[in-house]
Amino acid sequence: MKMALKLAAVLGVAIVAGGFVLDRAAQATAEPEKQPAEDKVLHAYGDTLILKKEPVGGMFSHKSHVIEYEFSCDTCHPDLFERKRGAAKASGDYNHPSMEEGMYCGACHDGDTAFDTVEEGNCISCHGSDMVEPETIVFVKPVKAVIFNHTEHTEMGFDCASCHDELFEMRVGAAEEKPEEFTMAALYDGKYCGACHNGDDAFASDTLCTTCHIGVQGFERMHGGEGKAAAEEH
């Protein structure tokens, strides 16, 4: 049975909106029906209203998949995805290897039904970035300057999932947005770089300070600034 449509019949309206948790809505059938304001409704799909607010956000859009590409709810629910935001992510295998085996988005994004997940030019369609790893990243918060050589780390054999997204978001600057958390104490606690730089998997975070900390002069040298001349005098 088409779960969403069945629910639609129960509720009179199925709500595809971030503001509503459907489970809660289902439990609340006894309450007076909440009818979304008309200017919030993007499209009526039978009894199902697609609201302007997207429930999933980020890389997946119900609007395009349901309206433009005309997939019915039961194409995806519940076999490919639970009707619960974050469920796929919580499953622990919401990743590229699974997709390449035809699970999740990969049921269609296989280069046949829709663009695939492996060709370089396609990354940007889902991730909003071409996913090209920056070669080096220099952190300047809370202190100047810490070097992270991205390419060297991936060339050591770490796959992307060793760091993304549990240790680091795939976005330069994300960790630095919380300078009070991105600290040596956190590293010693096994977070961020400290997940590996613990003296076991890689040199410990309480040693070799200057291997990571290139300092203000190192930073200026990299950026061709005043530190350059000063550094060359040594």
- Residue 109 contacts ligand HEC per CB under 6 A: yes
Stretch 9-38 residues interacting with ligand HEC (CB under 6 A): 14, 16, 18, 22
In the three-class reduction of DSSP (H, G, I as helix; E, B as strand; rest coil), residue 136 is classed as strand
Shortest spacing between CB 91 and ligand HEC, in angstroms? 8
- Residue 198 contacts ligand HEC per CB under 6 A: no
User: By rule CB under 6 A, what string of x and - marks binding of each residue 122-161 to ligand HEC?
Assistant: xx-xxx-x-x-xx--x-xxxxx--xxxxx-xxx-x-x-xx
Residue 189 has what DSSP assignment? Answer: T
In the three-class reduction of DSSP (H, G, I as helix; E, B as strand; rest coil), residue 16 is classed as strand
- Residue 214 contacts ligand HEC per CB under 6 A: no
CB distance 154 to 160 below 8 Å: yes
- Residue 60 contacts ligand HEC per CB under 6 A: yes
The window from 27-35, 36-44, 191-199, 222-230 that contacts ligand HEC (CB under 6 A) reads 191-199
Q: How many chain residues bind ligand HEC (CB under 6 A)?
A: 105
Strand ranges in the chain using DSSP code E only, listed in sequence order: 14-16, 41-45, 48-51, 136-139, 146-149
Token pair 């889902």 is found at: 126
With respect to ligand HEC, which residue has the nearer C-beta, 124 or 229? 124
Please state, in angstroms and rounded to a whole number, the distance separating the CA atoms of residues 224 and 206. Answer: 29
The closest alpha carbon to 18, from 76, 73, 57, belongs to 57
Please state, in angstroms and rounded to a whole number, the distance separating the CA atoms of residues 121 and 77. Answer: 28
- Residue 188 contacts ligand HEC per CB under 6 A: no
- Residue 102 contacts ligand HEC per CB under 6 A: no
- Residue 49 contacts ligand HEC per CB under 6 A: no
